[in-house]
Amino acid sequence: MPSPRERWHSRTAFIMAAIGSAVGLGNVWRFPYVAYQSGGGAFLIPYFTALFTAGIPMLILEMGIGQRLQRGAPGAFAAIRPKLEWFGWWAAGLSAAIVIYYSTILAWSWVYLWHSLDVAWAGDVEGFYAREVLHKSAGPGELGAPVWPLVLGMALTWLSIYLILRRGVRNVSKVVMVTVPLPLVLLAVLLARGLTLPGSADGIRYYLTPDFAMLGDWRIWLRAYGQIFFSLSLASGVMIGYGSYLGRRAEITNSALITAFANCGTSFFAGFAVFSMLGYLAQVQGLPVPDVTDSGTGLAFVTYPMAIAKLPALQAAIGVVFFITLLTLGIDSAFALQEAFTTGLHDKWRLAPEKLARVFVLVAFPVSLIFTTRGGFYWFDIVDKWVCDFGLVAAGLGQSLIVGWLYDVRDFRAYLNGISEVRLGAWWVWALRVVTPAVLVVILVMNLKAEIEATYEGYPRWATSAGGWGTLVLFAVLGWFLWRARGRREAA
Ligand code: PHE
């Protein structure tokens, strides 16, 4: 007798977990910057267009297919066509790749949390990041030894993930009740601090002043689609895996809408917290706001800490709040990613959650140590770029084509309408069949073209081939083995 599938505690728990996965570092250090750079307030137009024509349709598809087929990505695609199991493993493999490097950012955040206590970066913020924290080498060719505080941060991260996942989805149901609201409260604290500083209004003005002329540049539209995809955790098997732990009559469409709006609302809100602080920093330094604006790791580990060091009071407290915000934002995205992969293993081999969590962490932790070495930053940067800009985009493309054209998507729509609070119109089918794949093809081609013209960040070709393409191929091969391996169901 197979044991019954694990279930979420409640509908709220499912929605919270989905929001936890979607709301992550991308909302804080990517959205505000992309918005500011792409027309400010006017960026909301391409952003919402991307949300409605691709993001929400895909999210409904992923949650719905997981719920209907009661399996994670590999099993779900196998149910559509047996050979597609390989594709499902590849998508889920991308989530394994992401969690392995995403954990690096959490490791850095632990280290900064520690240094917040005495605002150790004050003075030379950039030098502190590169030399004291990363011990950055000259390039990817010079790996060097692991930096031990980073190893410690990495160990704390994986230990947290293990402790949360070892009791499976029921435990995740409880954890997300803390890790989802807490960063929102902390962001509100940061916003309150930011808004009461001189210069904050200038920062916010830069963030939101609409520049409608920029909407004529079609690259801005592509950027909006890219941001929506990453932010909603699409194409990585995460939402399929989470959907698979829903009961058979569970509501889908409205849950997806709630998740999407909560995520985008958080991004918009985070922009105020970030830009009010940047406005202050600009004022203190006597520079225009654009000169202190940064995205990605630079924002979180250089620019924002720089502003903290310039605060008139409570520097350590705000530092602690900021890095706990990053940690709580990131941790539920991290364990969702791991769960996406291990759900596939569970479906095929009926392994217990504790064992899956243990084995995964025991393999992933040593691998992730590459990113704690002195050259680790460069490899982190390369893997991130390739997995997101090529891997996730290709997986999203495959997924929309497979479900749009090989699966009876009209019947699927009727199924969803039978269980959901909101009715899906025929537009949904066409968003999946035509709009999403068309946009993703263009993004993929553009990214490839840019890469052929000049290697990313000027890294040597051998490094981007090994770290970037190598990672994608490695997971394709791993997916092939997992697909060919005999599962419990077939063996029995
Ligand atoms: N959505 C997360 C963020 O915004 C990142 C993520 C991508 C998580 C893909 C899971 C899967 O940070």
Mapped onto helix, strand or coil, the DSSP state of residue 1 is coil
Cβ-proximal residues to 408 (8 Å cutoff; 6+ apart), any chain: none
DSSP secondary structure string, 31-92?
A: HHHHHHHTTGGGGHHHHHHHIIIIIHHHHHHHHHHHHHHTS-HHHHHHHH-GGGHHHHHHHH
Q: Candidates 21, 106, 242, 389: which one to mutate for ligand 1, based on the most atoms within 8 Å of Cβ?
A: 21
pLDDT, tens digit, 9 for 90 and up, residues 413-447 = 999 999 999 999 999 999 999 999 999 999 999 98
Instruction: Dig out the tokens for 388 from the structure.
Output: 């997101």
Going by pLDDT thresholds of 50, 70 and 90, the confidence category of residue 347 is: very high
Q: What is the model's pTM?
A: 0.94
Q: Whose CA is nearest to atom 11 of ligand 1?
A: 233
Q: Whose CA is nearest to atom 10 of ligand 1?
A: 233
Q: Is 279 in the pocket of ligand 1 (CB under 6 A)?
A: no
CB atoms within 10 A of CB 362: 11
pLDDT, tens digit, 9 for 90 and up, residues 197-221 = 999 999 999 899 899 998 998 888 8
Domains observed in the chain: 11-486 (1.20.1740.10)
DSSP secondary structure string, 289-320?
A: GGGG---THHIIIIIHHHHHHT-SS-HHHHHH
- Ligand 1 centroid distance, CA of 316 (Å): 28
Q: Is 230 in the pocket of ligand 1 (CB under 6 A)?
A: yes
Q: Is 227 in the pocket of ligand 1 (CB under 6 A)?
A: no
Give residue 318's pLDDT.
Answer: 95
Q: Is 101 in the pocket of ligand 1 (CB under 6 A)?
A: no
Between 40 and 1, name the one with better pLDDT. Answer: 40
Q: Do the beta carbons of residue 329 and residue 183 sit within 8 Å?
A: yes
**Maximum alpha-carbon separation in the chain:** 71
- Ligand 1 centroid distance, CA of 330 (Å): 8
Nearest to 77 by CA among 363, 482, 456, 416: 482
Q: Is 22 in the pocket of ligand 1 (CB under 6 A)?
A: yes
Instruction: Dig out the tokens for 308 from the structure.
Output: 């903290």
Q: Do the beta carbons of residue 382 and residue 468 sit within 8 Å?
A: yes
pLDDT, tens digit, 9 for 90 and up, residues 300-321 = 999 999 999 999 989 999 999 9
Give residue 1's pLDDT.
Answer: 45
Q: Is 263 in the pocket of ligand 1 (CB under 6 A)?
A: no
Going by pLDDT thresholds of 50, 70 and 90, the confidence category of residue 3 is: low
